[in-house]
Amino acid sequence: MNFTAQQIADYLNGKVDGDANISVSSISKIEEGKSGTLSFLANPQYLKYIYETEASIVLVNNEFIAEKPIKSTLIRVPDAYQALASLLKLYEESVLQEKVGVEPNTFIDTTATIGENLYLGGFSYISKNVKIGKNVKIYPQVYIGDNAEIKDNTIIYSGVKIYRDCNIGKNCILHAGVVIGGDGFGFAPGAENNYKKVPQIGNVILEDDVEVGANSTIDRATIGSTLIKRGVKIDNLVQIAHNVEIGENTVVAAQTGLSGSTKIGNRCMIGGQVGIIGHITIADEVKIAAQSGVGASIKNIGEIVQGSPAYNIKDYQKSYVIYKKLPALKTKIDELEKEINKLKTHLHQ
């Protein structure tokens, strides 16, 4: 399907700078742009490509000023990356086949409640008293346990396991291999140097608009709920332990582990391979750099930390400059010690 620059600009509430009638049928990266495609410029590192690209249309921010001639037609928008996201969603909806209906080799318990326009892929299992809302898509080989609830417009990809009593909100996306509601890591030390399992009788609640990446796990609470609030985005291979709470619109990158009963604030950004111990609190809008280890509560709103143990990022960067120079400093110290020893020997002669 072809769209003209003017049609795209109208959809995005943007402004055409160039040929409003030029059309595109697909999307490309700016460095690989071809005639008939649309691209975008959001990261300044790719600025040079806008003067080289063959893309017919390029989305740019309103404040972009060209320093050289550009062959492409530009569409100016407040935020090129957000505009691209809107177009990609529209493109996805136009090319992906709408799936509706129940495929063969599925099981739906007679006590389950199913909303209209359900898609249920083959070899999926819907347990007792499950409630599924409208327009839900459940791909093959999904298991949904007793009393679980899946609300409207949620997408559950292949191989997801949702344990009993867990609640998934509206417009959520669970990618392949996600496990929601597995037992928390609860064991009581015994008298014989062994460990007795502590039953995990709580659940997991995902509020609306949550996305969970492939093979991530969110453990059920010991008592109460592990709570993932509205708009949270979780990357692949993330472990979230029992009774954790993650605030609204927080993002968590891959291979991060959150220990039990930790509370994360709203709008936080947690980098990849971060480890956070249990029973602490992270304030709103905190940013934690990749591979950091957080061993204490972070109480200041908007603080940025790095390192293991993590501390203020500016202090960390100053310390790291010195750390990199330690071999040279060690050499200087050794040389100074030799000189001092020579002076001592000379003075005692």
State the CATH number of the domain containing residue 283: 2.160.10.10
Cβ atoms 36, 53 nearer than 8 A: no
Cβ atoms 167, 153 nearer than 8 A: no
Q: Are strands 225-228 and 245-246 parallel, antiparallel or unpaired?
A: parallel
Q: Which residues are catalytic?
A: 242
- What's the confidence (pLDDT) of residue 303? 97
Query: Does an H or E element contain 294, and which?
Result: strand 293-294
Range of the domain at 67: 3-95
Joined together, the tokens standing for residue 87 give 């177009």
Cβ atoms 153, 136 nearer than 8 A: yes
- Residue 88 sits in a domain whose CATH number is 3.40.1390.10
Query: Does an H or E element contain 287, and which?
Result: strand 287-288
Measured CA to CA, the distance from residue 291 to residue 303 in angstroms comes to 17
Cβ atoms 230, 249 nearer than 8 A: yes
Instruction: Point out the domain boundary residue: 70, 95, 120.
Output: 95
Measured CA to CA, the distance from residue 72 to residue 17 in angstroms comes to 9
Across the chain, which has 349 residues, the per-10-residue mean pLDDT values are: 92 96 94 96 94 96 95 96 90 72 97 97 98 97 98 97 98 98 93 91 98 98 98 98 98 98 98 98 98 96 93 84 85 89 79
Burial class (CB in 10 A: 0-12, 13-18, 19+), 329: exposed
Instruction: Point out the domain boundary residue: 95, 121, 140.
Output: 95
Cβ atoms 250, 271 nearer than 8 A: no
Query: Does an H or E element contain 195, and which?
Result: strand 195-197
Does residue 334 share a domain with residue 292? no
- What's the confidence (pLDDT) of residue 97? 63
Does residue 91 share a domain with residue 125? no
Does residue 211 share a domain with residue 144? yes
Does residue 136 share a domain with residue 244? yes
Does residue 121 share a domain with residue 52? no
DSSP for residue 3:
E
- What's the confidence (pLDDT) of residue 64? 95
Does residue 245 share a domain with residue 289? yes
Q: Over the stretch 226-235, which tens digit does the pLDDT of each residue have?
A: 999 999 999 9
Diameter of the chain measured on Cα atoms = 101
Measured CA to CA, the distance from residue 113 to residue 130 in angstroms comes to 6
Does residue 133 share a domain with residue 53? no
Does residue 329 share a domain with residue 310? no
Does residue 325 share a domain with residue 301? no
Backbone phi, psi, residue 73, to 5°: -80, 135
Does residue 328 share a domain with residue 189? no
Apex 251 CA angle, 93 and 228, nearest 5:
90
- What's the confidence (pLDDT) of residue 347? 79
**What 3-state class would DSSP assign to 318?**
helix
**Residue 148's closest CA among 134, 129, 170, 133?**
129
Query: What is the number of structural domains in the chain?
Result: 3
Measured CA to CA, the distance from residue 34 to residue 30 in angstroms comes to 9
Does residue 152 share a domain with residue 235? yes
Instruction: Point out the domain boundary residue: 95, 115, 149.
Output: 95
Measured CA to CA, the distance from residue 206 to residue 171 in angstroms comes to 10
**What 3-state class would DSSP assign to 184?**
coil
- What's the confidence (pLDDT) of residue 309? 85
Measured CA to CA, the distance from residue 315 to residue 299 in angstroms comes to 17
Does residue 263 share a domain with residue 154? yes
**Residue 277's closest CA among 300, 299, 260, 253?**
260
Joined together, the tokens standing for residue 75 give 């569409």
Question: Which residue in the block uniquely carries the two structure tokens 């493109």?
Answer: 91
